[in-house]
Amino acid sequence: MRLIVTDSYEQSAYLSAQMILGVIKDKADALLGLATGTTPVAVYRYMVEAAQQKKADFGKVRTINLDEYIGLDGEDPNSYLHFMRKHLLDPCQIPLERVMIPNGMADVQEELQRMNLFADANPSDVQLLSVGVNGHIGFNEPSDVFYDRFHAVKLAQKTRESNSRLFPSIEEVPAEAITMGAGGIMRAKKIVVVVSGSDKAEILKKVVDGPITPQVPASVLQLHPDVTIVADEAAAA
């Protein structure tokens, strides 16, 4: 595990974007594993900037997302598809034919099969991650076991509370989601984790320094051969 401590979130985001852009430079049709939440927003802003300034070519890039809420349509402003289109896909002109993201409205079992069929055959060239306040990655919540492949999960109360800031009220935060498993995340060739803010400091210590346990899902990253954690001073405190 490599830990880079930066002065600010902006610096973390810039650096992380450069790492992902480096992967695209080496492989035009790279498969990018993407994440949602507040943390990746500026990473995507720097990637879009590079595309618009013709410093990066997204013409063949493919993407796969970690997760999606069950019950939200892709048009819903809180769906992760909507988030991805707004922050990266549309401005970089990546068509949906090159995008894999669980469909929150489809039959769950069929959707898991569709995602797993693709993910099993296509490990991501780089996976962008942020870490939830309870240590979750994607929607792999604290649990007694690590999950390997895409699966359906019941969201932890802490996650629903934390994510309710983006919804009109907590009642409207979906109770379930589809997520890539920890195994799928670990199959990415390279992993970039952005962690920002003082509210992530306690969990970050457990992630990098604590026992590897499914109770802190991100702790599994300690076993990956190419992980870079980019944390601002507040998170690294």
Q: Give the type of residue at 173.
A: V
Cα end-to-end distance, the chain, whole Å:
17
Closer of 37 and 184 to ligand GLP (Cβ): 37
Residue nearest to ligand GLP (CB): 37
Clarify whether 134 is annotated catalytic. yes
Interacting residues with ligand GLP between 162 and 221 (CB under 6 A): 163
Q: Which of 76, 78, 134, 148 is catalytic?
A: 134
Cβ at position 53, least distance to ligand GLP in Å: 26
What's the CA gap between 88 and 56, in Å, rounded? Answer: 13
Q: Give the type of residue at 205.
A: K
Interacting residues with ligand GLP between 30 and 59 (CB under 6 A): 35-39
Q: Which of 125, 141, 151, 163 is catalytic?
A: 141
Clarify whether 141 is annotated catalytic. yes
DSSP state of 156: P
Structure tokens at 188: 């990415």
Among 159, 184, 185, 208, binds ligand GLP (CB under 6 A): 159
Q: Which of 65, 136, 163, 232 is catalytic?
A: 136
Closer of 132 and 181 to ligand GLP (Cβ): 132
Residues in binding contact with ligand GLP, number by CB under 6 A: 14
Among 64, 21, 60, CA closest to 43: 21
Clarify whether 10 is annotated catalytic. no
Per rule CB under 6 A, is residue 67 in the interface with ligand GLP? yes
Interacting residues with ligand GLP between 112 and 141 (CB under 6 A): 130-132, 138-139
Reduced to 3 states (helix: H, G, I; strand: E, B; else coil), residue 50 is helix
What's the CA gap between 161 and 134, in Å, rounded? Answer: 11
Cβ at position 102, least distance to ligand GLP in Å: 11
What's the CA gap between 158 and 163, in Å, rounded? Answer: 9
Among 129, 121, 125, CA closest to 182: 129
Among 123, 232, 227, CA closest to 184: 123
Clarify whether 136 is annotated catalytic. yes
Closer of 72 and 95 to ligand GLP (Cβ): 72
What's the CA gap between 89 and 95, in Å, rounded? Answer: 7
Residues noted as catalytic: 67, 134, 136, 141
Would you tell me which residues interact with ligand GLP (CB under 6 A)? Answer: 35-39, 66-67, 130-132, 138-139, 159, 163
